[in-house]
Structure 1
Amino acid sequence: MLSILIPIYNQDVRKLVLTLAKQCNKLEINYQILCFDDGSTEKYRSLNQQLAHTIHVNYTELNENLGRSRIRNWLGKAAYFEYLLFLDGDSKVVSKNFIKTYIDNLHPEKVIQGGRIYSKAKPRSKKKMLHWKYGRNRESLPAKKRNKHPALNFHSNNFIIPAKVFSQHPFDTTVQGYGYEDTLYAQKLQYAGVDIAHIDNPTIHMGIELNHVFLAKTKQATENLAKLYASSKLKDTRLIKWYEFLKSYELWPSFEWYYRYRQKKIEANLNGDDPSIVNFNLWKLYMFGENLKEKQSK
């Protein structure tokens, strides 16, 4: 029936795993929960090791850090049920019918994405406001909106896929580090004729990063996007569309001038207590352009 697959990196997944197991047991379905630790610190390994003796749970510590794409492929290969439910380790289940909702929506050929939301309450630390604001404004979308652009709105934090489909279409392991492996995977599925359907069955993203950490990860994501765009692997993202729009009207030099003129103020705002999402989008676009320029000059 169901294999629940959780990649772990410096997260305590005990509550998540026990919540999922409780729901599966209530439904009396055949299931397994595979938890692969991808090089966490001893602090988190010692906590999650307690799951090793839980029935239906397989907790494994890997000898090396595989990265976001490779570990998902390993989890998929290790699973033995017909459907694979991928969940990030920093997820919190919202609904008591989370598993049932997925089971009610299973399709032998489709990928089903449940969604991602963020807490309505602001983070206690103002230094986490950027990630929280971005998540609330750009990622916490109802299924009706996500289904308008199913591939662009796909996230690998919470989705279910038939095992036979995943075996034919694993994640692209050439994407290193953080960023755009989800979009690339969704595009791959789309090109292969695999439908992605979004439903309202979200998990809360608990792993909100400090502003400077979130900016560093996003910068790495723009580097990945520039690499994928330069190699023609990925051409359809919002950032790329804005870049191509400005280039087509010969406005990119003007944008670069404008950004550099305001750069210090923009970056100070993003690292401050009340960051602007508009500034964040300008910063991302500029970073993408700079990374692309570097790729094209080589």
Structure 2
Amino acid sequence: MLSILIPVYAYEVGTLVHTLHQQASQLSQAWEIRLLDDASPSHWQVSNRQLDQLQGVYYQELTENVGRAKIRNLLAQQARYDYLLFLDSDSGIDQPDFLSTYLSQLAPSRVLCGGRSYLSKPPDTAYYLHWWYGTQREVRPAGIRRQQPYAGFMTNNFVVPKSVMHHIPFDETVTTYGHEDTLFGFQLQAAGIDIQHLDNPVLHIGLDEATHWLEKQRIAIQNLYRLHRQNPALQTQALQWWLRLHRTGLLQFVMPFFKKKSTHWEQKLLHQHQPNLRLLDLLKIYWLEEVHQAQQSPSSLS
């Protein structure tokens, strides 16, 4: 009935898999856990290979890194059962009824999203920005997420019928970090697939060091711009603000100011305690216009 699918890259997943295995072993329905390693460095693979000895757990390694989209498609193709639970490898589960909560809500044309949580205690300073952003922007109860069910779709913790994944696979042209989940949510909405949000979160444990995390946000914005060019109806809050400012002509006047202040804003995000995330919002608008100016003429804006 349920295939639990975990793409793995450079992360030790033993605790997660053992927790899932313990819960799954108590279910009355059929299940499996599939781990697909995306060509991690060998020491990570050595650590995770032993999980293949658990009954119902299947571990496999790719020889070349294929990226976040393709690896999920490969897992979906390998899955034996009709419902697919995708989890990120850096997840933690602290709810004893995590799997049974999902099983009680399964439906043939419904996607289930459980949400995300973070540890309540701030991490070391190097990881604080990622944690702060997550707690302020990503942790939202199901009641709030239901108000805009397709907005901010996250792939770290969701169940999708295998038949839906067959018709709407992840876009494998998205090979760098960011917004393959935004596109997937947009495609679900276009296809009329219902999304049901639940309060069934997983902990996001694997935080990025602040400088690396901020650079990933810049890369994600480049992806977002390209995806918007291909799908003009795809929207995020950053896109909406950028389009509004661009079309009114205001952005050309403020870009010199944005350029002058961008490094200062980045430093404040990296080093301030409880940094003002509005600065990140401004940086995203700046990065969108930056990539637009580099790739397109103003007259070509959709």
Shorter-chain TM-score bucket reads: over 0.9
Give, in angstroms, the shift of residue 283 of structure 1. 1.2
Counterpart residue number, 2:234: 235
Deviating more after overlay: 286-295 vs 229-238? 229-238
Counterpart residue number, 1:159: 158
Deviating more after overlay: 136-145 vs 255-264? 255-264
What letter is aligned with 2:42?
Answer: E
Counterpart residue number, 2:72: 72
CA distance in 1, matches of 2:253, 2:167: 45
2:227 counterpart SS class: helix
Give, in angstroms, the shift of residue 230 of structure 1. 2.3
Counterpart residue number, 1:290: 290
Q: 1:97-128 CA deviation, whole Å, 9 max, x = no partner? A: 000100111111100010011111101x2121
What letter is aligned with 2:92?
Answer: K
Q: 1:237-294 CA deviation, whole Å, 9 max, x = no partner? A: 1111011121233221233133223233212112214232111111122111101221
What letter is aligned with 1:117?
Answer: S
Q: 1:79-108 CA deviation, whole Å, 9 max, x = no partner? A: 011110000000001210000100111111
What letter is aligned with 1:57?
Answer: V
What letter is aligned with 1:64?
Answer: E
CA distance in 2, matches of 1:28, 1:266: 53
Identity %: 38
Q: 1:143-194 CA deviation, whole Å, 9 max, x = no partner? A: 1111111111210100001111111111111112110100101111111111
Give, in angstroms, the shift of residue 234 of structure 1. 5.4
Q: TM-score, normalised by structure 1?
A: 0.96
What letter is aligned with 1:161?
Answer: V
Counterpart residue number, 2:281: 281
Does the 8 A contact of 1:127 with 1:272 survive in 2?
no
Counterpart residue number, 1:271: 270
Which consecutive segments of 4 or more residues in structure 1 shift more than 3 A? none
Counterpart residue number, 2:37: 37
CA distance in 1, matches of 2:256, 2:234: 25
CA distance in 1, matches of 2:263, 2:30: 56
Counterpart residue number, 1:140: 139
Does the 8 A contact of 1:39 with 1:65 survive in 2?
yes
> Cα RMSD (Å) of the superposition?
1.4
Change (3 A) 1:195 1:111: same
CA distance in 1, matches of 2:18, 2:70: 25
Does the 8 A contact of 2:259 with 2:286 survive in 1?
no
Does the 8 A contact of 1:230 with 1:295 survive in 2?
no
Does the 8 A contact of 2:113 with 2:159 survive in 1?
yes
Q: What stretches of structure 1 of length at least 5 have no aligned partner?
A: none
CA distance in 1, matches of 2:120, 2:265: 26
1:252 counterpart SS class: helix
Does the 8 A contact of 1:7 with 1:89 survive in 2?
yes
Deviating more after overlay: 7-16 vs 240-249? 240-249
Does the 8 A contact of 2:67 with 2:176 survive in 1?
yes
Counterpart residue number, 2:111: 111
Does the 8 A contact of 1:230 with 1:292 survive in 2?
no
Counterpart residue number, 1:247: 246
What letter is aligned with 2:182?
Answer: T
Does the 8 A contact of 2:52 with 2:59 survive in 1?
yes
1:148 counterpart SS class: coil
CA distance in 1, matches of 2:32, 2:142: 27
CA distance in 2, matches of 1:16, 1:263: 39
What letter is aligned with 2:228?
Answer: Y
CA distance in 2, matches of 1:233, 1:166: 23
Counterpart residue number, 2:13: 13
CA distance in 2, matches of 1:136, 1:245: 28
Q: What stretches of structure 2 of length at least 5 have no aligned partner?
A: none
2:271 counterpart SS class: coil
Length, aligned pairs only: 297
Counterpart residue number, 1:262: 261
1:271 counterpart SS class: helix
